[in-house]
Each structure stands twice: as structure tokens, then as C-alpha cells.
Amino acid sequence: MAVSSSPSSSSSSSSSSESSDNAKAWILPGIVAGVAFAAAAGARAYFNGFRKFRSRVVGIIPARFASSRFQGKPLVHILGKPMIQRTWERAKLASTLDHVVVATDDEKIADCCRQFGADVIMTSESCRNGTERCNEALQKLEKKYDVVVNIQGDEPLIEPEIIDGVVKALQAAPDAVFSTAVTSLKPEDANDPNRVKCVVDNHGYAIYFSRGMIPFNKSGKVNPQFPYLLHLGIQSYDAKFLKIYPDLQPTPLQLEEDLEQLKVLENGYRMKVIKVDHEAHGVDTPEDVGKIESLMRERNLS
């Protein structure tokens, strides 16, 4: 037998339904508000953490006296100042560096640097390259750092903005352990083995470095329309990666090209690359000193 609803039961059912609807009406905005609050709090925590990510930065200028192409290069005078001093002065202008030191195995270089006010870390003669010298210096520093910038001592006209650029690139790429800079390569330098070339992927990560012309087209000639990239010497590393770098075994491509960046890539690590509008003014041979001095005079740099 069917049971009909009495007015009272109908009213009770209606009241219950309204109560349920009211509850849902309150619950949904509450959930949304809670999610929004949690998201906002999470975002704040994320961005606060991001600001602190790899925040402590030291610039290290590795310098050695022995050089197959240019003995005593860091001490050569450029318009009256040792080249290592000019590099140090430019590095001090970078806004991202908390500290700048010179890392050397030579007392003559160390004495020179102390005279113009630089902090010096003495390193061993066994360092095979600038990266290993930076790592040894890092271990000897009293303070702890998250990022180490390897600033080439033979770049007396290095732009502070480039130093800041490679630091910020590494800070913004948690999946990278290394960052560096490239610029446009002049066609006449395409076959110069002292001008290291670089190719990158669509996301700004390094694919390969070479002393030869890359990419190499079927004609075997320089394509004046192709945007070849020249690697600039400046590099920054995640400090934790730098500690394990010397323990990585030399790799075939690294040994063949004599380029330490290839050991990083061959071991599967990622390297962020930034492109800058800057001409390379490195000093590789004694003849380069006159070119640098002429350029400085043109720019009224003392």
C-alpha cells in the first residue's frame, strides 16, 4: 500500500533538503577559499624558496703562471695594470657576486693580487683546469656558497652584466648544474681552433662544444647566413656539482677536443646557455695585448 506524505512529513523533508542545500552552499565556497588560501601559501613558499635557491654566489678567478702559449700571462701589463687586476676590477662590478677571490698556484701572482687588494686562495699545481682550481678554492673558503662563477683571468674587458647573466640563468634552471654564455661568431673565426663553438637546443641547453666549425654543412664552407655561436669563457656551477666534478673520469670527447665542458655533457648533466651581445676580447697570445690596449683607448678605458 502506498504511503502518502503528510503535510508535516513533507515540510520536514523540504526543511531537510533546504538545510542540505544551504550546507552545500557554504561548503563549496569554503573548499574553494581553502584551496585558494593553500595555493597562495604554497606559491609564497615556492617563490620565497626560489629567491633563496642558489642564492650565495662567489666569483673565482683561476690564474696560473705556466702556460704553453703565454708564460706569466696573468701578470702582463695592460695600459699600466696587470691583466689579473683588470679582470678582478671588472668582476667586482657584478651585482650577483657576494665575494670575489683569485685562485692561483703561483706566489708571484698571489703577491701581485694582494698588493691591489684581492683576496687570494693558494691552490695546488696539480689542478688540470680552471674548474678543478675553482673547486679546490671553494673547499678552502670559510663561508659556504651555492654557486661558483669561474671568471677567466684573461678576459680583462669582461662585462659585469654577463657575469650576472650566467648566475641568474643557473638560478632559474634547477635541472642544470652548469651555465655559460655564447655570442655571435664572426665568419672569419669559424675555423680558428682557439675560438670554441657551441650549439644549443630550442630550450637554451647546450648540445655540444667544439674547436671545429659546428654545425658543419655538406659544402664544407662557412655559411654567412647561419648564426654560429662562439663560446665565452665564463662559466658558473652549482657548488654541489663542482665538488664531484674532479671525481668524474675524463671522457673521450673531452680528451679529443680538450674542452672540459664536454665532460659535463658526456656524463649526462645539463648546461644552461645564454646568448649575449658581446665581442670576445680574450688574451691568448702576446700579440693580443696590443689589440686589447688599442680597444681600451678607443673606448676611453683607463
Q: For residue 167, what are the contacts with CB-CB under 8 A and spacing of at least 6?
A: 57, 94, 96, 97, 147, 149, 179, 236
Q: Would residue 3 count as lying in a domain?
A: no
Q: Would residue 251 count as lying in a domain?
A: yes
Q: Phi first, then psi: give them for residue 257, nearest 5 degrees.
A: -90, -15
Helical (H) or strand (E) element with 273: strand 271-275
Q: Would residue 42 count as lying in a domain?
A: no
pTM of the model: 0.79
Tally the domains of the chain: 1
Cell numbers placing 182:
655564447
Q: Would residue 23 count as lying in a domain?
A: no
Q: Would residue 240 count as lying in a domain?
A: yes
User: Per residue of the chain (302 residues), what is the pLDDT tens digit?
Assistant: 433 333 344 444 444 444 444 444 444 344 333 433 433 343 334 334 444 579 999 999 999 887 766 778 899 999 999 999 999 999 999 999 999 999 999 999 999 999 999 999 999 988 888 899 999 999 999 899 999 999 998 889 999 999 999 999 999 999 999 999 999 999 999 999 989 999 999 999 999 999 999 999 999 999 999 999 999 989 999 999 999 998 999 999 999 999 999 999 999 999 999 999 987 777 878 888 999 999 899 988 87
Q: Would residue 260 count as lying in a domain?
A: yes
- CA dist 235 and 223 (Å) reads 28
Cis peptide before 215 (omega within 30 of 0): yes
Residue 265's domain is classified under what CATH number? 3.90.550.10
Give the pLDDT score at 68: 61
Give the pLDDT score at 165: 97
- CA dist 253 and 208 (Å) reads 10
Q: Would residue 109 count as lying in a domain?
A: yes
3-state secondary structure 31-87: HHHHHHHHHHHHHHHHHHHHHHCCCCEEEEEEECCCCCCCCCHHHCEECCEEHHHHH
Domain that holds residue 72: 54-296
